[in-house]
């Protein structure tokens, strides 16, 4: 009996170790902590797949548990005043330094857009709440965190439009005056899908003359910037990397556009472009915009162009038009639309499928004459900035946070 228990215990330990262990590159700090953290994400993803297969709940509905588990009620503390409001019908969380008697000086402001693949995440999650408070206290700045609506309940362009309306509302002189914000010291920032929305809104505002206030800076943290080529070197190199494997990123893209699973299958095969989107592939040609060091063993091959995608294959033309829309893929704008953009901070990570999106944008922005600070983490992985709360607190998250806030302090 005792021997049988030992065998069972050893078998259980072996299975657990087998499930947790992943061939993560040695260069990544705190590898075992990342393996343990990712085992939770993988387990939830497997459960989500099973739930969808059985018709119980859709994949993103199950994955939304991550958002719920991290949610907090943002409340004021001794240093930060927190209010929940609506700007042009969209929920926002506003963080302001507590007023000290007789203060009249205008402050900087950061409009922050959370990540989560447009399908998950919330400005009310504890890592975003902590980041906002840190920005407020270290920079004496106002932080506007946007609770935009999520896919798949609200497909593109709804999340983008929510963000756009909030930013337009906030940039009104009367609104800025109400919150004691300096109109010349405002940045828009976001991580992952939030970085996508920040880049897209920055581009849109530059195309609109007569703004009451302009953005001074944009800070993009491992941003996702294009949906045309999902087979760049970083997508290939990091297809099984923790936190954001290629399959999940492709699923985020497809769910952002439509609930039709045909698009997901086409995107997984990188055969989702049609004649309209293929004309824009020149803007995401990684053989031209990636430095040689990132080419590695990979050779460029233009994505296949399939007639009927978005029409006969998917049953609608909306996804195809969306894929080619620069509001969804900011990398698709022509060079002429880049030169007037505000100065930029772009953070990329070596072990991230989105690495090349960020680096290509850096290359194109610099070529257009935009001042860019590119911070690349050779041992970084996607989502690193958000791992600041126990038990998933990583040292690299502290470095990223410190460097990000330092840049804001020096450039805003």
114 in active site? no
Q: Name the catalytic one among 114, 155, 272, 382.
A: 382
Beta strands at 181-191 and 107-113: parallel, antiparallel or unpaired: parallel
Q: Name the catalytic one among 123, 145, 192, 202.
A: 192
Q: Name the catalytic one among 229, 352, 356, 357.
A: 352
352 in active site? yes
382 in active site? yes
What is the C-alpha separation between 197 and 191, in angstroms, rounded? Answer: 9
Structure tokens at 33: 């902590």
DSSP 125: B
CB burial of 11-30 (b: ≥16 within 10 Å; e: otherwise) equals: eeeeeeeeeeeeebeeebee
What is the C-alpha separation between 364 and 136, in angstroms, rounded? Answer: 32
Q: 3-class SS at 319?
A: helix
What is the C-alpha separation between 62 and 287, in angstroms, rounded? Answer: 38
- Is the link from the previous residue into 226 a cis peptide, with omega within 30 of 0? no
DSSP 10: H
What is the C-alpha separation between 380 and 376, in angstroms, rounded? Answer: 8
Instruction: Write out the catalytic residue numbers.
Output: 192, 352, 382
């Amino acid at each position: 009996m005792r021997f049988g228990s030992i065998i069972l215990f050893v078998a259980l330990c072996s299975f657990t170790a087998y499930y947790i262990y992943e061939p993560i590159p040695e260069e990544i700090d705190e590898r075992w902590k990342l393996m343990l953290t990712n085992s939770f994400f993988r387990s939830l993803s497997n459960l989500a797949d099973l739930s969808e297969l059985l018709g119980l709940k859709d994949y993103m509905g199950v994955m939304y548990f991550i958002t719920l588990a991290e949610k907090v009620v943002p409340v004021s503390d001794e240093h930060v005043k927190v209010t929940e409001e609506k700007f042009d019908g969209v929920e926002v969380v506003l963080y302001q330094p507590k007023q000290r008697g007789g203060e009249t000086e205008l402050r900087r402001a950061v409009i922050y857009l959370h990540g989560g693949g447009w399908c998950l995440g919330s400005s009310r999650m504890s890592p975003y709440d902590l980041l906002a408070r840190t920005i407020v206290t270290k920079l004496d700045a106002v932080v506007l965190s946007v609770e935009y609506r999520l896919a798949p309940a609200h497909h593109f362009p709804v999340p983008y439009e929510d963000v756009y309306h909030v930013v337009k509302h906030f940039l009104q002189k009367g609104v800025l005056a109400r919150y004691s914000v300096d109109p010349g010291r405002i940045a828009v920032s976001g991580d992952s899908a939030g970085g996508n929305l920040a880049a897209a809104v920055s581009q849109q505002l530059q195309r609109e003359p007569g703004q009451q206030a302009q953005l001074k800076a944009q800070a993009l943290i491992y941003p996702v910037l294009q949906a045309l080529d999902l087979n760049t070197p970083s997508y290939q190199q990091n297809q099984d990397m923790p936190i954001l494997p290629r399959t999940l990123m492709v699923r985020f893209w497809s769910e952002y556009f439509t609930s039709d699973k045909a698009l997901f299958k086409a995107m997984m095969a990188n055969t989702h472009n049609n004649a309209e989107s293929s004309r824009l592939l020149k803007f995401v040609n990684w053989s031209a915009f990636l430095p040689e060091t990132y080419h590695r063993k990979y050779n460029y091959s233009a994505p296949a162009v399939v007639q009927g995608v978005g029409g006969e294959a998917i049953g609608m033309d909306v996804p195809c038009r969306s894929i080619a829309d620069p509001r969804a893929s900011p990398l698709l704008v022509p060079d002429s639309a880049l030169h007037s953009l505000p100065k930029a901070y772009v953070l990329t990570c070596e072990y991230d499928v989105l690495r090349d999106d960020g680096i290509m944008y850096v290359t194109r922005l610099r070529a257009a004459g935009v001042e860019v600070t590119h911070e690349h983490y050779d041992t970084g992985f996607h989502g690193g900035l958000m791992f600041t709360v126990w038990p998933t607190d990583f040292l690299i998250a502290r470095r990223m946070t410190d460097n990000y806030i330092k840049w804001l302090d020096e450039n805003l």
